[in-house]
Structure 1
Amino acid sequence: MDEEFSIKLDSIVIPTSSTKVFKDDCMFSFDTPLDPVGLDICMTCHQAFSRGEFNYTQMHSEFYDHDLFLNYRKIRKVQKNEEQPHKMIKLEVKESSESDLFDSNYSIYDQKLNKSVDYPNKELPTKVSQAADAIIAATSSAKKEEIMSWEQEIKSCNHSSAIEQKPIPGLQLKKCTSCDLAENLWICLHCGNLGCGRNQFGGVPGNSHAMLHQKEYPEHAVAVKLGSLSSDIADCYCYACDDEVKVPNLASLLKTFGIDITNFVRTEKSLTELQIEQNIQWDFKMGGDGGEELKPVFGKGLTGFKNLGNSCYLASALQLLFSIDSFQKAFFIPSGVPLDKILGNLRPYEDLETQMYKLGDGLLSGRYSVPDMTTLETTKYQRGLKPSGFKTLIGEGHPEFSTMLQQDSFEFWTYLIDKLEKKKVYGQLENSPTNVLKFILESRIKCSNCQGVRIKKEVTDNMSVPLNVKLVETDAEGNKIYKQTSMNESMDIWNSPEAFEYSCPKCGKQTATREENFKTLPEYFVVNPQRIILENWVPTKVTVPIKFEELLDLHKYQSTGILPGEEELPEDETDGREGNNQDSEVEFDIQALNNLFEMGFTENRAKHALYATGNNGAETAMNWLFEHMEDAQIDEPFKTPENGGSGASSVSVDTEKLASLASMGFAEKNSIKALVLNNGNVEAAVEWLFSNPDDDGILEAADAGLAAKDTDVLVKELESSFDKTKLKYELLGVVCHKGTSVHSGHYVAFVKKIVDGEAKWVLFNDEKVILAIADNIKEIETTGYLYVYKRI
């Protein structure tokens, strides 16, 4: 060993099983052990750095006086007659899973001397060898998080908790009772009928006879997949709820049909395995009609993400977000992550702004948008950025985004935007990059009797619009074919006046109309078509085709304010309602009330249900009622809860939003505080409530006043800067979703990019980044889920 090689033994820290060890990628870039120089893992703090385009190893060493590193490189093994490997199903994450594909090389690197020695090396001090061995053996921090969160929480439902069994005579458990299929078999827990399942990902056949059995016998809701049964795994599905469920006393119920679960050997993949495999492998159309494979594209702004197993919802949202000018300006610097994020930031994995800079560099620099030459695939796609650190940080503490389950991409978009605003993550900008998404919605209520008008303003950064759902036919395979609609048709439905019972401050109870318009419009307009509807009281995703149009004109939806001849209605504590009857403070949907009456529900129950579900229609209220029949107050006369709390008696919150939180089980006082502190943002309020479970719900006057002041300032800024002549938009990108539920299936992003000097549509399908063709664009019509428009 070189005599000049010096080591400070007191700076070496031997990691234990509880120590975070980072060895997947650099803390400030997406350089990995597969890169020529590899990763340098600090032997003091166990974080990983690189000496690639930017020498973050040197910066870390000089800033913190951490000089010694374990250098880690992975080199592709050369194997004879090797076929293209199948993607692994990452049900069980093991550190040795890549050992068949890669050799691992290690060395000890002294940054101060810029010298390396191969490892293992008998001449190294014992402490250095112990630390190096512990780092090599340790499961990386990213893998640990993945293992911890790779759990699917399945709950029981009303149907699976109360199964009445009446076995049919002559049971046979060999093949489907309606066809000859002998795999993908589901046994009805109510009667023992054996039916085949639906066609499943990966070519598993099925004719849906188990589902058809339930349609014939609606009370036979729950079935179990025989091939997946073992002592620790059981796939149970409720066709009434259209979801996986847990079945209490399953072993006892199966014994009714002669099935001993302890002796069953699993012969087929479980639903979870199939779902994970589908998330990783389910591709959108990647070729033309002639079967030719489309060529990938590379360059700045054309970088893909590696799918972590369920991360396509996150990746597709980030592709759109970093296509917005303000986010590019905020979080991308050609010289890499700013020095101030490296200096004095000993835990960059806990800093959201650092993670945003890292994403900006990875997605926009072009350094990682190169063919992956380590694979044996004929077509060389990118390796793809692995957003493990960002996903762990952004999802921390969130009941959904912290898991490894597929999530709703639009919900993640709104959650991320709110998180960036709350933590004041501005990057290089003086104000939030999210400001380009902000606009003012104006709700206009007009009394049908006195023609008085009340106007309410709300600042938001996205919209959900209804779809015009018209079923045309159902094809031979049971797929529903819907009539084509358009984004403007959805905007028309959203903008249409709706009638409701209203207590006018001027003339008492009357009928009024309510409509929404735009007071201002943003630079970037974010729209979510509501593809989830209730069919037979079950949330269902519909594939209504939305005509692909790149231009959107919002001129006709601009607010008019108070028109000549109209009078603005007064505001006071009681809102002009008669006496102290709090019932009149809630404007119930008359049609929904009548529908609930026709179903046999009493007035009190109907009003409690509509209030608890945010006045969101009879079907939603009915579902709520079925779950709350035993509530003590369900038959008491309905009274609107007062907005209470110290310092908050004069605070006004949206009753529908308050009801939405109440339906989730949150206390009213805490819900009011959460809404006020989060400027009426329901998603942010839910996060605050989860993060503050022990809060007393008391809203201090200063907090209420500050929130109102911030909103007022923002409203004035948006109104003063709004250009009423710029009301036309061009489509920038679309997040698309393929699958029957937003919590399964696969997300991709289509973004308009400059390629070879021309504006072209690019499909981002995880690490596969290709030029879109007509067949790809056609899929946007039935799968488009999140649209981002840029003002012309």
Structure 2
Amino acid sequence: MTDVVSVDCGEAPIENVALALELLKDVDVSAYSIPNHESKIFKDECMFCYTSPYHPGGLYICLKTFTAFCEHHMREMAERRGRNVFLQLKSKKTRDETEEPREKIKRLAIGIDEGFCNEKMEVEDEYYLVIFPRLATRIPINLLSSHPIGVACDRIATTTSAERLELLQGASNAWDGEMKQVTKHVNLKQIDNPPVLPMSGWKCDVETCDLSENLWLNLTDGAIRCGRSQIIGDGVRSRGNNHMKMYYEEKHFPLVVKLGTIEESGVADVYSYDEDDAVANPNLEKHLAHFGLKMKEMKKSEKSTVELELDMNQKWEWARCQEDGENLETVFGPLHTGIVNIGSSCYINSVIQALLSIPDYVNILGKNAPVIMNDIDPCEMNESIPGQMAKLFSSLANGNFSKPPPNNEYNGVKPTQFRKVVGKGHIEFSTCRQQDAEEYLRHLIDKISTHVPIAYGDANAALRFKQQVRLVDESSGHVRYTEKEEFVLALPIPKTSLIPVDQEALRFSVPLTHCISAAFSEESIEGFTSPITGETRGARSCISMATFPDYLMIQVQRFQMGDDYQVKKMDVDVIVEDVIDLTPFRGIGVQPGEQLLPQENTEVDEKIVCELTSMGFTRNAAVKAVLNTKGQDLGGATEWIMRMMDDPTLNDPLPSQMASMNNEEVSGEEVEQLVMFGFTPHQAKYALKKEKDVNAAAEWLFNNGHSVPEESIQPVIDTPKEYRDGSGKYELVSFISHMGSSPHSGHYVCHALRSNRWILFNDEKVAVSKNPPKQLAYLYLYKRV
């Protein structure tokens, strides 16, 4: 018998079938499995880091579990779990020009994960069987056709990976942007005997106006007037005398379209004056034809209002935040790793980079990653929240994916699975749409609190703080003190503190200190009924800091709910100080002589709950809105409900109520009846506790089965939370900026202080910042000094 040690063939693959079969003589049949159609095969990246088949050395797929590892983690797995048979996968991208040798499996690809490209590309996949620890002895799988292990290798090679199958199934969720509302004037009444308009050569109908650009057509009577002038650059304005707005004020004909923006496809800049918004008009072609205009023959010649505004914002806000035009020095190494945008994921990337400014997250989820991942079966890594967090934070912290040239080809990480498991079950974060960074920060903090065992450490302790709420009953003069947990200090933008930046008051600034003072100022609560006197004379309330955390996250509430329930962004410059002192806002508790009101068993703002229920929302929905928009006002809570209207669980009982429901017993016989329909016992019990009747429970499951929360396997242990406290003086160490007009579109970037230098994290781009745009930020992270 030939000793395996004597046949080490170096880097060159074995070419002899007999030699290959000789090497397999001592491989036990229990060391590998043959995958079937239900097997999940992971081969896109290492289970424990972001090494891909394109990296040097490729990946090693365990033939027992079908999970993939880089060489480093493969060696750990082999030594710890006794795995010794692996399929090595090495991939490279090539143009489709030549036919390759038969042992190379080829697959057509467009863009290869990076997205669409015009160039036809192919991926060459090379598969070799290796037996640990002799990794240099590689057996091409085409030599194994006569051995059972060859069947396993061939099926792994020809099966679509589990990661890619999930991406394909979720691809329909990819979307970024905002939909215009259809105008209420779809069936607009147009005048009889309308004028017949030419297809081009228009000018403003006002005799004293000679404008032939920025012209709007009134769809009621065919009048053509110029629009308003707009700033389109530094000191540059578009031409316009606002004659169409004046015409609307005179005639009250509401619907207009900007001539020059009309495309044959029906896309155009349509505005409704009485709806005060840009709108969609499905009958635009019909309305234009009324004046002899043939939409199918019209060509776009001007930018729309939105395009002009976006151009202006991009030239200012986008350019400032991304520091366009600056020759920025790229940086590499630990804590300087970029995160690839995997589809409107910049809000996730920015939040993660900001948290890396906090040692607790770096140490507990990053440096402690091997301990966390050792406790997780590799087959469960892709669905494990602690595992994906450890994988991401460690890969960002260790610098393995941030190498200087010439070794920078594989820089950056793609947290596809992290995004999936952290967002799973959430109506917004489970999609590929752009989201609000502050809301995601809270969501991520909650996931860490509920899924990362406290035995590894409490990463959130550095951000967690208590606020003290003092309420004064106007009727009796009695007071009530309550405390609530917070992770973000929300600051309103006081309109009384706005300072014009330019003479025309088109942009304003506000001192951050004024926003802080406004957050801690006293506010009136209408409709408060005194539990002492029974009179409804209102109350006064204010918040203060009960504890000062190590790191304080501040949100400047740039997004405001308008009267039309549309969220709009306040484009103001915040005058930021690098060092702030919140000591004057520390709560001092009950004072001598104060008489206390009885305590309420609630942590929600009843004022906002009452206002929401008066709008017609259920109390369950209202309370959830308040709890999920901590620190926000009625507008924020209303926006949250409006976004969640399609969630079938919106009006369900609160978690505390569900806990009492879970203690209720259900009929085992009824559970079995529902299980016979294909539901799990957990789903059956959940539905029966909601509906009581088995038929109603079955109907509910058929309609809402997907919304049943995951079954809790481990008992919830109520561990006392840590609230650190100290000085109220802080210095700025990171901030997240948003570019765009809505939290659900646009772009986020993060600036962070690393080794006394401001670093710009713009997705996968990481560079030294020359002019950090602190005045434009949405979230500010301060460190206690």
Common fold: TM-score over 0.5: yes
Partner residue of 1:144 out of 168, 172, 183:
168
How far 1:144 sits from its partner (Å)? 1.7
In structure 2, do the counterparts of structure 1 residues 416 and 729 end up closer, same or farther at CA, with 3 Å as the change threshold? same
The code of the aligned residue for 2:45 comes to D
1:480 aligns with 2:506: yes
For residue 393 of structure 2, what is the aligned residue in structure 1?
Answer: 360
For residue 770 of structure 1, what is the aligned residue in structure 2?
Answer: 767
How far 1:40 sits from its partner (Å)? 3.8
Q: Matched residue of 2:443: which SS?
A: helix
**Contact preservation (8 Å) 2:347, 2:747:** yes
In structure 1, how many angstroms separate the alpha carbons of the residues matched to 2:326 and 2:64? 52
**Contact preservation (8 Å) 2:181, 2:280:** yes
- Residues 446-496 of structure 1 deviation map (CA, whole Å, 9 limit, x = unaligned): 2456532222222221121111335655869x98221x3222211111222
In structure 2, how many angstroms separate the alpha carbons of the residues matched to 1:43 and 1:57? 14
For residue 36 of structure 1, what is the aligned residue in structure 2?
Answer: 56
In structure 1, how many angstroms separate the alpha carbons of the residues matched to 2:277 and 2:142? 52
In structure 1, how many angstroms separate the alpha carbons of the residues matched to 2:40 and 2:299? 38
Q: Matched residue of 2:451: which SS?
A: coil
Aligned length: 670
1:71 aligns with 2:89: yes
1:440 aligns with 2:466: yes
For residue 543 of structure 2, what is the aligned residue in structure 1?
Answer: 516
For residue 462 of structure 1, what is the aligned residue in structure 2?
Answer: 488
In structure 2, how many angstroms separate the alpha carbons of the residues matched to 1:57 and 1:221? 69
For residue 581 of structure 2, what is the aligned residue in structure 1?
Answer: 553
The code of the aligned residue for 1:171 comes to L
In structure 2, how many angstroms separate the alpha carbons of the residues matched to 1:225 and 1:407? 34
Partner residue of 1:529 out of 556, 572, 577:
556
1:13 aligns with 2:40: no
Q: Matched residue of 1:309: which SS?
A: coil
Q: How does 1:84-95 map to 2 (within 5 A)?
A: none
In structure 1, how many angstroms separate the alpha carbons of the residues matched to 2:128 and 2:328? 43
In structure 1, how many angstroms separate the alpha carbons of the residues matched to 2:214 and 2:168? 33
Q: Matched residue of 1:734: which SS?
A: strand
In structure 1, how many angstroms separate the alpha carbons of the residues matched to 2:65 and 2:757? 45
In structure 1, how many angstroms separate the alpha carbons of the residues matched to 2:619 and 2:386? 34
Q: Matched residue of 1:55: which SS?
A: helix
For residue 587 of structure 1, what is the aligned residue in structure 2?
Answer: none
In structure 1, how many angstroms separate the alpha carbons of the residues matched to 2:48 and 2:620? 42
In structure 2, how many angstroms separate the alpha carbons of the residues matched to 1:523 and 1:392? 30
1:489 aligns with 2:514: yes
Q: How does 1:576-725 map to 2 (within 5 A)?
A: 653-656=604-607, 658-659=609-610, 662=613, 667-669=618-620, 690=647, 692=649, 695=652, 700=657, 703=660, 723=725
How far 1:10 sits from its partner (Å)? 8.1
1:788 aligns with 2:781: yes
For residue 217 of structure 1, what is the aligned residue in structure 2?
Answer: 248
In structure 2, how many angstroms separate the alpha carbons of the residues matched to 1:674 and 1:269? 39
1:116 aligns with 2:138: yes
Partner residue of 2:429 out of 401, 412, 417:
401
How far 1:150 sits from its partner (Å)? 1.4
Partner residue of 1:135 out of 156, 159, 173:
159
Q: Matched residue of 1:346: which SS?
A: helix
Partner residue of 1:296 out of 330, 352, 365:
330
For residue 197 of structure 2, what is the aligned residue in structure 1?
Answer: 171
Comparing 762-771 with 331-340, which one deviates more in the overlay? 331-340
For residue 606 of structure 1, what is the aligned residue in structure 2?
Answer: none
**Contact preservation (8 Å) 2:145, 2:151:** no
How far 1:443 sits from its partner (Å)? 1.8
In structure 2, do the counterparts of structure 1 residues 227 and 162 end up closer, same or farther at CA, with 3 Å as the change threshold? closer
The code of the aligned residue for 2:728 comes to L
In structure 2, how many angstroms separate the alpha carbons of the residues matched to 1:454 and 1:400? 36
The code of the aligned residue for 1:785 comes to Y
In structure 1, how many angstroms separate the alpha carbons of the residues matched to 2:611 and 2:375? 39
In structure 2, do the counterparts of structure 1 residues 108 and 526 end up closer, same or farther at CA, with 3 Å as the change threshold? same
How far 1:365 sits from its partner (Å)? 0.2
In structure 2, do the counterparts of structure 1 residues 49 and 170 end up closer, same or farther at CA, with 3 Å as the change threshold? farther
The code of the aligned residue for 1:530 comes to Q
How far 1:27 sits from its partner (Å)? 2.3
How far 1:363 sits from its partner (Å)? 0.9
Q: Matched residue of 1:504: which SS?
A: coil
The code of the aligned residue for 1:362 comes to S
- Residues 136-191 of structure 1 deviation map (CA, whole Å, 9 limit, x = unaligned): 69992464256221145865637346452537634345477569999999977666
Partner residue of 2:415 out of 387, 398, 410:
387
For residue 596 of structure 2, what is the aligned residue in structure 1?
Answer: 568
1:321 aligns with 2:355: yes
Q: Matched residue of 1:514: which SS?
A: strand
- Residues 592-628 of structure 1 deviation map (CA, whole Å, 9 limit, x = unaligned): xxxxxxxxxxxxxxxxxxxxxxxxxxxxxxxxxxxxx
In structure 2, how many angstroms separate the alpha carbons of the residues matched to 1:385 and 1:763? 17
Q: Matched residue of 1:361: which SS?
A: helix
In structure 2, how many angstroms separate the alpha carbons of the residues matched to 1:137 and 1:561? 59
**Contact preservation (8 Å) 1:176, 1:195:** no
Q: Identity rate of aligned residues, in percent?
A: 26
The code of the aligned residue for 2:138 comes to S
The code of the aligned residue for 2:551 comes to Y
How far 1:303 sits from its partner (Å)? 0.9
For residue 77 of structure 2, what is the aligned residue in structure 1?
Answer: 59
In structure 2, do the counterparts of structure 1 residues 43 and 742 end up closer, same or farther at CA, with 3 Å as the change threshold? same
**Contact preservation (8 Å) 1:296, 1:381:** no
Q: Matched residue of 1:737: which SS?
A: strand
**Contact preservation (8 Å) 1:236, 1:247:** no
The code of the aligned residue for 1:12 comes to I
**Contact preservation (8 Å) 1:658, 1:668:** yes
In structure 1, how many angstroms separate the alpha carbons of the residues matched to 2:302 and 2:153? 45
How far 1:348 sits from its partner (Å)? 1.5
In structure 2, do the counterparts of structure 1 residues 176 and 761 end up closer, same or farther at CA, with 3 Å as the change threshold? farther
1:348 aligns with 2:403: no
The code of the aligned residue for 1:762 comes to I
For residue 620 of structure 1, what is the aligned residue in structure 2?
Answer: none
**Contact preservation (8 Å) 2:737, 2:778:** yes
**Contact preservation (8 Å) 2:53, 2:91:** yes
How far 1:358 sits from its partner (Å)? 0.9
**Contact preservation (8 Å) 2:475, 2:538:** yes
In structure 2, do the counterparts of structure 1 residues 665 and 787 end up closer, same or farther at CA, with 3 Å as the change threshold? farther
How far 1:56 sits from its partner (Å)? 3.3
Comparing 28-37 with 217-226, which one deviates more in the overlay? 217-226
For residue 10 of structure 2, what is the aligned residue in structure 1?
Answer: none
1:743 aligns with 2:744: yes
In structure 1, how many angstroms separate the alpha carbons of the residues matched to 2:268 and 2:63? 45
CA RMSD, Structure 1 to Structure 2 (Å): 5.4
In structure 2, do the counterparts of structure 1 residues 209 and 69 end up closer, same or farther at CA, with 3 Å as the change threshold? farther
In structure 1, how many angstroms separate the alpha carbons of the residues matched to 2:50 and 2:467? 40
Q: Matched residue of 2:780: which SS?
A: strand
How far 1:34 sits from its partner (Å)? 3.0
In structure 1, how many angstroms separate the alpha carbons of the residues matched to 2:110 and 2:216? 23
In structure 1, how many angstroms separate the alpha carbons of the residues matched to 2:42 and 2:295? 41
How far 1:499 sits from its partner (Å)? 3.5
The code of the aligned residue for 2:451 comes to K
Q: Matched residue of 2:456: which SS?
A: coil
Partner residue of 1:429 out of 456, 461, 468:
456
The code of the aligned residue for 1:780 comes to K
For residue 307 of structure 1, what is the aligned residue in structure 2?
Answer: 341
Structure 1 unpaired stretches of 5+: 80-89, 375-379, 573-649
In structure 2, do the counterparts of structure 1 residues 225 and 520 end up closer, same or farther at CA, with 3 Å as the change threshold? farther
The code of the aligned residue for 2:752 comes to V
How far 1:314 sits from its partner (Å)? 1.0
In structure 2, do the counterparts of structure 1 residues 362 and 165 end up closer, same or farther at CA, with 3 Å as the change threshold? farther
How far 1:762 sits from its partner (Å)? 1.2
Partner residue of 1:761 out of 758, 763, 770:
758
